[in-house]
Structure 1
């Protein structure tokens, strides 16, 4: 499956570090997406997270809005939160039929005990539901800072197994990483990925501008490294937790270090401080960095 199956823009080399970026929203962010739509480039990929407490109807409605506004929806599915194969089938078929979804992002999810028959992403992939429904690409997680319950070797093994299974089913693989505050950690991981012969497109997670306490709270929840040294590189001092922080230094570092040798790479923004604020920051950063 070719790179354009993941998104047409991957066939074009970026002219700036923020070109071809993607965004992440929740179902509750629909009004914010509508408000910010005019300044988001057409066909921008927009991931819709699978939050507990949000109904299938709400997630599908968000995906429909993404498509209606001219963007590319990528609904998330959390294996351990899905109660039955029927629920999985209905979610995928509705996302395709109602929102024109062509790609989905799969995670295992946080619950230690699955709500249904799916303990991990492989269990969902192996159902055959995605290719049968017309899904062209599957997103899977990359872990530059490691995984809370797997060794480094196990994370590479799991990624290889998922990538192979997706390819065997005629779909393309996209890797999306968790956000981080240290560009060098992400790039070192990316270089290991390419050294292993894995040439899939990668989206590297970047936190949008947000309150410093909010960023630290999300980091703790997601297991992201946020030591005083790392935060200082990002531009945050633990002695000054008031105010906001943007990813200027982080994105600058990506711009300096990333090269064609790293393969197809784009940024994926997590708008912790609000979607409009993130999109505004991207536009402001892009102006002097074409």
Structure 2
């Protein structure tokens, strides 16, 4: 299957396109890791790279600084995450204007998690944007941004049903969103069933699969539990007994991620969004299997 998928990816008329998600660093050491990862992945010429925004806007300044540095020092296309949480509409609009002034033209608009963390009830800020669709509309009023939004193949954990969740996606598109990026998933059939459901609702924007290479299985499983993503038994079995065997765990992680993305390619997918966790090696290896190669132009971008 890997051979067939790889061949089709190389022969496909539409080239593979990738994007990468990073999070803003909390320390000098983490900042060095982040920028090493950016330099490693930049030669692959991603469609865009996004930088996350902490719960309650807790990383607002660090997110802005990271994105602004990308604009100044690289030729990458940065996308800044932005949420509705813990801010008035005027405060959010000021952040949007600051991104525009910094040269950012792409925002990933999210409702966001409560400042208290996942598991607490979401409460709109008094005088703030109540929902992500309201945030999308507000961003578009400030400037002609490209706006990406989230999508949930297994529904948002707070949505009463998948149909209600798709209603929310439709509202975001009606407000001006032009791309959706999914929550990560490990069962590709879930993604394709979701595509069938959204297309049946007349939604025709790109729904880009979000891919989480499993750097650490326990961490990934905990993250999945908080976000409502399922972890198949077969995936747990792949990593069983490898808690203290880092070398083998890396090999298994690469094999699992390669199987998933190459199966998606074999079924017609050409765009991928990778949740990098600020680590480049595993993501770079997967992109290599997808047929992507760093170019001289790309290396110049990384060094710009």
- Please report the TM-score for the alignment, with normalisation by the length of structure 1: 0.78
1:137 alignment partner in structure 2: 146
**Structure 1 residues 95 and 30, CA gap change in structure 2 (3 angstroms):** farther
Contact 1:104 1:138 in 2 (8 A): yes
- 2:24 maps to 1:14: no
Contact 2:109 2:132 in 1 (8 A): yes
The separation in 1 between residues aligned to 2:88 and 2:35, in whole angstroms, is 32
Match of 2:131 among 114, 120, 123: 120
SS in 1 for 2:178: strand
Q: CA deviation at 1:239?
A: 5.6
The separation in 2 between residues aligned to 1:49 and 1:104, in whole angstroms, is 10
The separation in 1 between residues aligned to 2:40 and 2:77, in whole angstroms, is 15
Moved more, 243-252 or 113-122: 113-122
The separation in 1 between residues aligned to 2:143 and 2:226, in whole angstroms, is 34
2:199 alignment partner in structure 1: 194
- 2:109 maps to 1:109: no
Contact 2:107 2:148 in 1 (8 A): yes
The separation in 1 between residues aligned to 2:218 and 2:132, in whole angstroms, is 32
- Please report the TM-score for the alignment, with normalisation by the length of structure 2: 0.75
Deviations 1:198-221 (A, max 9, x none): 210221100124022222122122
Contact 2:134 2:175 in 1 (8 A): no
- 2:255 maps to 1:258: no
**Structure 1 residues 146 and 210, CA gap change in structure 2 (3 angstroms):** same
Structure 2 spans left out of the alignment, 5+ residues: 1-11, 115-121, 294-304
Which of these two proteins has the greater Rg computed from alpha carbons? 2
SS in 2 for 1:155: helix
Match of 1:162 among 168, 172, 179: 172
2:9 alignment partner in structure 1: none
**Structure 1 residues 223 and 238, CA gap change in structure 2 (3 angstroms):** farther
Deviations 1:121-150 (A, max 9, x none): 1232343xx234323321111110112121
Deviations 1:168-219 (A, max 9, x none): xxxx511110011111111221132223322102211001240222221221
1:27 alignment partner in structure 2: 24
The separation in 2 between residues aligned to 1:207 and 1:78, in whole angstroms, is 21
Structure 1 spans left out of the alignment, 5+ residues: 1-11, 167-171, 260-264
- 2:80 maps to 1:70: no
2:8 alignment partner in structure 1: none
Name the structure with the higher strand share.
1
- 2:49 maps to 1:49: no
Contact 2:211 2:273 in 1 (8 A): yes
**Structure 1 residues 255 and 125, CA gap change in structure 2 (3 angstroms):** closer
Deviations 1:5-43 (A, max 9, x none): xxxxxxx9533xxx2211111111653343232542335
2:100 alignment partner in structure 1: 96
**Structure 1 residues 158 and 63, CA gap change in structure 2 (3 angstroms):** same
Moved more, 275-284 or 208-217: 275-284
Moved more, 52-61 or 279-288: 279-288
Match of 2:225 among 210, 220, 223: 220
1:271 alignment partner in structure 2: 276
The separation in 1 between residues aligned to 2:46 and 2:67, in whole angstroms, is 13
**Structure 1 residues 134 and 165, CA gap change in structure 2 (3 angstroms):** same
Instruction: Calculate the aligned-residue CA RMSD, in Å.
Output: 2.6
The separation in 2 between residues aligned to 1:216 and 1:90, in whole angstroms, is 36
**Structure 1 residues 212 and 43, CA gap change in structure 2 (3 angstroms):** closer
